[in-house]
Amino acid sequence: MCGIAGFATRPGKSPWDMKTLSVMTDVLTHRGPDDQGFLLDGGVGLGHRRLSIIDVAGGQNPLKDTGGHVALIFNGEIYNHRSLRKELTDSGCRPATGSDGEVIVHGYLTWGLEETLRRIRGMYAFALLDRRDHSLHLARDPFGIKPLFIKEDAEGVLFGSELKSLVAALGVRPDLSSTGLLQVASMGFTLSPSTIFAGCESLDPGTWLSVRDGKVSRGRFHAVQFEPGRESSDPQALWEALGRSVSRHLMSEVPLGSFLSGGIDSSAIVAAMSEQASGPVEAVCVGISEDGMDERPYAREVASSLGVTLHEETAVPALLDLLPRLAWHLESPFSDTSAAPSWLVCQGARRHVTVALSGDGGDENFAGYRRTRFDVLEAQWRGRLPALIRHGILGPLGRQWPSGPWMPKPLRAATFLRNLGSDWLDAYIFSMSRIPEEEVRHLFHPEVLSPEPLREAFEPAAAKVADLDPLHRVLAMDMATWLKDDILVKVDRMSMAHSLEVRVPLLDTDFVHYVGGLPVEAKLYGGSGKTLFRQSLRGKLSDSVLDRPKQGFHLPMSRWLRGGLRDQLQSILSEENGPSFDWVQHHRFQRLADEHFAERADRSRELWFLMTLDAFLRSGPGGSEVAMRSSSRTTEKRGRP
């Protein structure tokens, strides 16, 4: 696992040099503390920070072919590199190293860019320079496990594994994106290709971008296919497919293990490792010292039954100390509260392993979220009720219905009623939103947010899945939005902050293709998700593990904001020259805080977002409390677009 950065200047331009390349790469040292490498060739710069996993001795980047025609910088792992290497050597290629990334170099020369991308299996982002025509090619893996950011302007194209590389090259923080700000405030994350910075984009998963003679072209090489019914509901076949995926993910020359929470997904990975691994299996569990968050008893049960070695750690989430670090690494006001415990888990795991397998992707593959079941239920009711009743009665009733944890569970119907009065896409967005769009617009200064509805960012993905059945429609939307822009972002940034490589066997391309062919009832049956997945694990994991209710991984933010975080929150609200004052209407946040402190309502989502926004503006890339100055206008009110 590594960090990459670089640029391609347009003909006649020369804004960037080796110094630029060096600062872009230096800010990624946490992603690759073991080595660095550079190449500057005719206006194209390639910079690399290496975390050595495969061919530790000989896999330094940039990787080149023997003729020196191609140079590659690479972040990630190619799990089928051995079979591809054999194909290439059989055709006459002579790889010089054992690096998995070298198959991209020789694959490009033998098969071309797109065919190579169709053949490789793994998680990756790379930049490849073809010195014969001086073209630069960038690509990102099918699910967006590994990040890649781009800034294209009149000078050329900048790219990097993290946004901070682009900020370092520019020397100043770009203006905040009004679109990205609306998205992160409402959803908790920015929806790619948008980012928090104007003019900077996240390259879509499963796509490539090429720069030749100053001209940029793009293409797609992969899209997830859902063909329900193509595969039979055979538990053994599913188990064997999981085993093949896990086996591919075990290659390593450094200590490798797995996260183990005692939940179904991580337990399934460890169970498959126990069958596939040639030696002892290591697992890591980090107990968060907070009521309801210590998963070690469940992990012990699984580890004991499978005979694996369990390393246990205890962590205390000191959020006031963590917030600046989270802001620096997450690079936006990312308000998913599971980011902090994820940081602690990765920090603890790194004491024992360099590579950890994770169960991420299980919920998106197998309908594991509670909200997914409600989405399907809403779709069923939406098809039965007349439009007049849905739009004229239920929708308006849902908007007026009181909501909150203080209500008895049978009466918490606001979201359900509101969604019945909406079409499926508006219902999906509302269910996914941490703060509804209309409330976000009420809390911010109107001019700082994009006037375009949040829905417009979801419509491209929605158009591709509109004809699917209700279950696969929501699973496809989750993979196109929530998974790649929240879950995988959090996992990548929190793990790489500690130089820990995390692999996700449940997002293996072949495995996801197989699961996409399973029928609806194999994933959701009788109101329960992961139907066939559980069946495939019977006899391998105990019933107590398989039947245990899903446990969330979120901090008790509502209580903490009334306790240990209250003084810090109040300080942000009262600091008239604080960085967030130019963006949000603090008097409205103060009213929410008063309601929350008095326990009249739970306003933790809004208040936690304000804290993450303040931390980002101070400590995020280019922030007011880091070395580089903001590029906010000096002749206008600070921060306003």
Cα→Cα distances 127→47, 136, 146, Å = 10, 7, 13
- The answer on pLDDT for 400 being more than 60 is no
- pLDDT band with cut points at 50, 70 and 90 for residue 396: low
pLDDT at res. 184: 98
* pLDDT tens-digit readout, 366-379: 999 988 988 888 88
Cβ(212)–Cβ(133) below 8 Å: yes
pLDDT at 55: 63
Q: pLDDT at residue 411 above 70?
A: no
d(CA 505, CA 512): 9
In the block, residue with structure tokens 């064997």: 240
> What integer pLDDT is reported at residue 605 of this predicted model?
95
What pTM does this model have? 0.92
Q: Measure the CA dihedral 49/55/59/63, to 10°.
A: -120
Q: Is the pLDDT of residue 266 over 60?
A: yes
pLDDT at 615 over 70: yes
Question: Span 465-486, mean pLDDT?
Answer: 96
pLDDT at 57: 65
631 pLDDT higher than 70: no
Q: How confident is the model at residue 405 (pLDDT cuts 50, 70, 90)?
A: very low
What confidence score (pLDDT) does residue 460 get? 95
The pLDDT confidence band at residue 433, using thresholds 50, 70 and 90, is very high
pLDDT digits (tens, 9 = 90+) for 215-263: 999 999 999 889 999 999 999 999 999 999 999 999 988 889 999 999 9
pLDDT band at 283 (very low <50, low <70, confident <90, very high): very high
pLDDT at position 56 over 50: yes
Instruction: Please provide the average confidence, as pLDDT, over all residues in the chain.
Output: 89
For position 481, what pLDDT does the model report? 96
Could you write out the DSSP letters of every residue in 432-479?
H-SS-HHHHHHHB-GGGS-SS-THHHHHHHHHHHTTS-HHHHHHHHHI
What's the pLDDT at 48? 95
Q: State yes or no: pLDDT of 109 exceeds 60.
A: yes
pLDDT band at 171 (very low <50, low <70, confident <90, very high): very high
β-bridge pairing 501-503 and 355-357: parallel
Q: Give residue 409's pLDDT band: very low, low, confident or very high (50, 70, 90).
A: very low
Task: Please compute the mean of the pLDDT values over residues 496-521 and round it to a whole number.
Answer: 96
Identify the band that residue 393 occupies on the pLDDT scale cut at 50, 70 and 90.
low
Tokens in use for 499? 């130089």
Nearest to 503, CA basis, from 72, 97, 78: 78
- Check residue 83 and give its pLDDT: 94
Decide if pLDDT at 445 tops 90.
yes
Instruction: Please list, in sequence order, all residues whose beta carbon lies within 8 angstroms of the beta carbon of residue 587, skipping any fewer than 6 positions away.
Output: none
pLDDT at 268 over 70: yes
Question: What per-residue confidence (pLDDT) applies to 392?
Answer: 54
370 vs 617: which has the higher pLDDT: 617
pLDDT for 51 equals: 82
**% of the chain surpassing 70 pLDDT:** 90
**Cross-strand partners of 616:** none
**Minimal CA–CA distance to 357: which of 479, 477, 261?**
261
Average pLDDT over residues 472-487: 96
Section 504-511 average pLDDT: 97
Has residue 65 got a pLDDT over 80?
yes
Average of per-residue pLDDT across 141-155: 97
pLDDT in tens, 549-605: 877 667 889 999 999 999 999 999 998 888 999 999 999 999 999 999 999 999 999
What is the phi/psi pair of residue 586, to 5°?
Answer: -65, -30
pLDDT of residue 416: 63
SS3 75: strand
For 308-378, list the strands marked E by DSSP. Answer: 309-315, 355-357
Judged by DSSP in three states, 39 sits in strand
